[in-house]
Amino acid sequence: MVINAARGLGEAIVGGIVEPHQIVYRNRQGRLEPDSRSAGEALLSPEHERELAHQLFRVHWAFGDGQNPQDVEWACDGKSIWFLQVRPATRTRRFLPAPVSGLPRQWSTANIKDAVPGVVCTMSWSLIQAAVESVAFGGPILAGYALETGAELVRRFHGRGYFELTFMQWVMFDSLGMSPADFVQAIGGGQPAIHPPADPHPGREQRRRMRTAFRLLKKIWGVEREYARVMSLRQARMREAGALGLAALSPAQLMAWFNKLAPSSDAMDLTVGLSNSAHGPWEASLEALLRPEFGSRARSLIGKLLAGTGAVTSAEHGYAIFDLAAAARADAEALRWLDSRQPATDWVNLPPGSTFRARLSDFLDRFGHRAVYEADYLNPRWVEDPSYVLDQVRYALANPQAADPREAARRVREAAESTVRSASAWRRPVIFWLARKLRGAMAVRESAKSAMAALALVSKRMALEVGRRLVAAGHLDQPGDVLHLSAADLVCWLEGWWDGAGARRLAADRARQREAWLAEETPPDEITEEPDGRVSTREHLPTRHGYDWSGIGAAPGRARGSAHIIRHPNEASRFQPGEVLVAPSTDPGWTPLFLRASAIVMASGGYLSHGAIVAREYGIPAVVNVPGILTDVQSGDTLLVDGDSGTVVREPR
């Protein structure tokens, strides 16, 4: 953000009559911070300068959706700041690091479609945009890589999120030497890999990347310890925040807590980013050790060694729903209440001695911050509305399983461990040690995602408190409308720079825009922006041969079953045990459905997507990144899902 200031009228700046005082602000992890300023007299007081920067950021969101630069004319009379004119900036330059600056920018849904599916509200997107750089590049940053500022990592097209993969591929190559092809495979996209230019000093650059990779390995070695340290601090703050009476806090106090809970306040987002890289060394070493004796079976064996660990938090709430059903069976009052289908929030009216009530309370304490498609604040968290959880309990009561689902997953892992014991004696202990490290890395990755979801619940509650105050002041119709404002709007209101006037129209306009985006056809998977401005689009077409589709084998094993296409977990009432779950993407809200499935097939996702990690924990075969599968297959088709080879075969009717 470049601010030019001069005494008198703006015409003097536009006409080049005066040399303006220039101030540059940068957005770092969602925080606006002064970066540089020219010499000479400061024409704005520090208070007015800070207010101007944040109000300009709010204008950027109001007129440019937080991504399209704006030219703003403003004035300050020593008391107030006045905005005179806003128009789209016409002289902006695209930014990519110099070695790849001549390449097209590749915008891809990749695995952002898995993590942030569909069209999320403005509040959600503004907070995601603030944290995404640290989360995406946490590993290289913590390893000392100097990330060039100015590149746009995420952007929305037709309301949906896209990653800029030219930039991402370059950063992972330049920092760690990761090949672009390997990165594309890991992120789950179908876009072509870039071809980085030859290094001007190959030996020196290679040594630099090796040093960064070694520093990252040292960080990964202690990731569980570091995660525990950060989470201890984070949980203490969140417990304190949870005990606050938000209604009694002043706007300044709310702002102080908003800053305290920002992920960047204790490097939580960087730790989450580090957890995304933590599996790599252990998995590569494990595969290298297994391949000489087990050949092509090595990859499948690794997946089976990850089953039934009990350490993947987003798998645990699937198991916990079966425990809730068991508690309900032994509780006659709970069974009557579940049959009555009273409002889900009335569970608190069950008798205090109810075993089911106690178990449900514990479930919501542990997992109530999760939700179906939890990236969007508009979707209720389970603690806000446990209807979805109770529907899964009712299903489990009506369709009891003969055996504990945990036992099936343990058997998968124990069979793999038995196979490993046939390996040569010197390899055995090393293999088991590496497997434990890999399990720990996968567990940290999912725990980190859960921690971010827990933080989102606290942030949402604070936003809704601001919404209640804007309703009381006559600026909004209902508190939830505040979720159509941006984080920049909230900051300006909390700081006292905006009284909320116009909030109703702004929120209504964004809500209408969201509905319009949702009504559109799904946009393309890839958008290519050429250096000369030309734009082209491309779908990720399935690799298909007759009745066969190829994707990424995400969880090993083979299973045959009747396909059941589910586009949203709320459609799953007729999903039967033993069917193959065919879905666009999955997040923690889908987890309870996995335990009904014989296999999982997803249109998007990569080896490290949420659904892939949970499927491996459950010991259920899964194939992901099969674009087109939702239209090529019909519910009722018989599918053979091979998670070892990454193939899906439809058997002739």
Q: pLDDT tens digits, residue range 214-225?
A: 999 999 998 888
C-alpha–C-alpha distance, residues 510 and 516, integer Å: 10
Fold of 543-650: Glucose Oxidase; domain 1 (3.50.30)
End-to-end CA distance of the chain: give it in Å, rounded: 61
The CATH homologous superfamily of the domain defined by 2-88: ATP-grasp fold, B domain (3.30.470.20)
Q: Using one digit for the tens of pLDDT, what is the confidence trace for 394-443?
A: 999 988 877 788 898 999 999 999 999 887 788 889 999 999 999 999 99
Q: Tokens for 396, please give them.
A: 């489990």
Against a cut of 0.85, is the pTM above it? Answer: yes
pLDDT value, residue 12 = 82
C-alpha–C-alpha distance, residues 387 and 344, integer Å: 5
Quick one: average pLDDT of 108-113? 85
Q: Using one digit for the tens of pLDDT, what is the confidence trace for 131-141?
A: 888 888 889 99
Contact predicate 23/5, CB 8 Å:
yes
Residue with tokens 């939830």: 480
- pLDDT confidence band for 462 (50 / 70 / 90): very high
The fraction of the chain above a pLDDT of 70, given in percent, is 98
Residue 642 has pLDDT above 90, yes or no: yes
SS3 for 617-636, per residue? HHCCCEEECCCCHHHHCCCC
Written as one string, the DSSP assignment of 424-458 is -TTHHHHHHHHHHHHHHHHHHHHHHHHHHHHHHHH
- Cβ-Cβ contacts under 8 Å for 542 (sequence gap 6 or more): 549, 550, 551, 626, 627, 628, 629, 632
Q: Give the helix ranges, DSSP H, for 369-426.
A: 387-398, 405-420
Q: Using one digit for the tens of pLDDT, what is the confidence trace for 595-611?
A: 999 999 998 888 888 88
- pLDDT confidence band for 1 (50 / 70 / 90): very high
For 390, list phi and psi in degrees, rounded to 5.
-65, -35
Written as one string, the DSSP assignment of 481-525 is GGGGS-HHHHHHHHTTS---TTHHHHHHHHHHHHHHHHHSPPPPS
Q: Tokens for 229, please give them.
A: 């340290």
| Per-domain boundaries in the chain | 2-88, 93-212+479-539, 543-650
Same fold, 2-88 and 543-650: no
Residue 182 has pLDDT above 70, yes or no: yes
Contact predicate 624/535, CB 8 Å:
no
What is the radius of gyration, based on Cα positions, of the chain?
Answer: 26
Question: How many residues are present in the chain?
Answer: 653
Coil, strand or helix: which one is 531? coil
Dihedral, CA of residue 92, residue 483, residue 131 and residue 107, to nearest 10: -50
Quick one: average pLDDT of 570-596? 89
